[in-house]
Amino acid sequence: MSTPWKRTAVIGLVGGTALVAFAGNAGAITPTTQSLDDVPDSIMKGSSVTLSGTLTGTRDRPLTDEPVALERRTGQEWTRVATADTGDDGSVTFRRAPHATAQWRITYAGDTFRDGATSEVARVEVRTPPPPPPPRPQPGGSQQSTPIGQRIVAVAAAHAGSPYAYGASGPTRFDCSGFAQHVHRAVGINLPRTSSDQHRATRSIPRHAKVPGDLVFFHSGGSVYHVGIYAGGNHVWAAPETGDVVRKQHIYTGSYYVGRAW
């Protein structure tokens, strides 16, 4: 049987994210913060997802060898699904293969000296994989299939004018990586959610060899911060920034990588 936790709520703001902490003991004197980091918005059914976070105490110092719990909610109630102890840097990692869309959080019960803490809540959508693409016509057939790069560009162009929204991945609003993910999903290709993860997941292509349908990853000092779908003519289809819309954007810098997901 799990130990009941005191329900006194203490609300704080850490890194721009509101967190709700629950006191583990009325005599606790050390505040703690439990984070939940880099959780994808959605995954394909059958895929695994990593849920990680860091438990810190006074002055953001990591708390080690402390038990924390991973909790899931699909309806009204939270269910504890796993527990683990924090490492030397205060971090903890859980790997799960969800079968259904759910909300997730990491909790720390606290003890006599430390307050309990609960991370922000992350919702992970579990999607059904798309059906496989139709087989290519055999040589000599009456029809020719459209090259996948052209199909990617056609889907991207069909969303011209859709508004930018940070963290959105469609079907009507997008940020840059959400747009790239949505377009590729429409042609049966699964991409990670963020531009940096998309860069790591795609095959590197020399810049001079890029073709329409490739991904163009803009970077600063090697750190990817923006992505677009190459449209040809030194332009990309992209969702550029707040206040803008999906449009064909000029490749405005020479600091970019090219990746291919097909």
CATH entry, 148-260, from 3.30.70.100, 3.40.50.300, 3.90.1720.10, 1.10.3720.10? 3.90.1720.10
Report yes or no: 120 and 197 within 8 Å, Cβ to Cβ. no
What is the per-residue pLDDT for 81? Answer: 95
Is 195 strand, coil or helix?
Answer: helix
Provide, rounded to the nearest whole percent, the portion of the chain with pLDDT above 90: 71
192 class by beta-carbon count within 10 Å (0-12 exposed, 13-18 middle, 19+ buried) = middle
- Each residue's pLDDT tens digit, 190-199: 999 999 999 9
Closest CA to 91 of 124, 116, 56: 56
The CATH code belonging to domain 9-127 is 2.60.40.10
Label residue 124 by pLDDT band (50, 70, 90).
very high
What is the per-residue pLDDT for 28? Answer: 64
Which amino acid is it at 40? Answer: P
Q: Alpha carbon of 42 to those of 16, 80, 124, 154, 201: distances in Å?
A: 22, 21, 5, 24, 16
- Helix (H) or strand (E) holding 177, with range, is helix 176-186
Q: Which residues have CB under 8 Å from 159's CB, separation 6+?
A: 174, 179, 182, 183, 237, 246
What is the per-residue pLDDT for 159? Answer: 96
What is the per-residue pLDDT for 2? Answer: 41
- Each residue's pLDDT tens digit, 12-26: 333 333 344 444 455
Q: Average per-residue pLDDT in the chain?
A: 86
pLDDT above 50 for 10: no
Provide, rounded to the nearest whole percent, the portion of the chain with pLDDT above 70: 84
Q: What's the mean pLDDT in 96-122?
A: 93
Residue intervals of the chain classified under CATH 3.90.1720.10 are: 148-260
- Each residue's pLDDT tens digit, 183-227: 999 999 999 999 999 999 999 999 999 999 999 999 999 999 999
pLDDT above 70 for 1: no
What is the per-residue pLDDT for 30? Answer: 87
DSSP 117-170: EEPPPEEEEEEPPPPPPPPPPPTT-S--PPPHHHHHHHHHHHTTTPBB-TT-BS
Report the predicted TM-score, pTM, of the whole model to 2 decimal places: 0.47
Residue intervals of the chain classified under CATH 2.60.40.10 are: 9-127
Label residue 139 by pLDDT band (50, 70, 90).
low
Label residue 142 by pLDDT band (50, 70, 90).
very low
What is the per-residue pLDDT for 141? Answer: 44
Which amino acid is it at 224? Answer: V
Q: Which of 42-46, 82-86, 169-173, 222-226 has the lowest mean pLDDT?
A: 42-46
What is the per-residue pLDDT for 75? Answer: 85
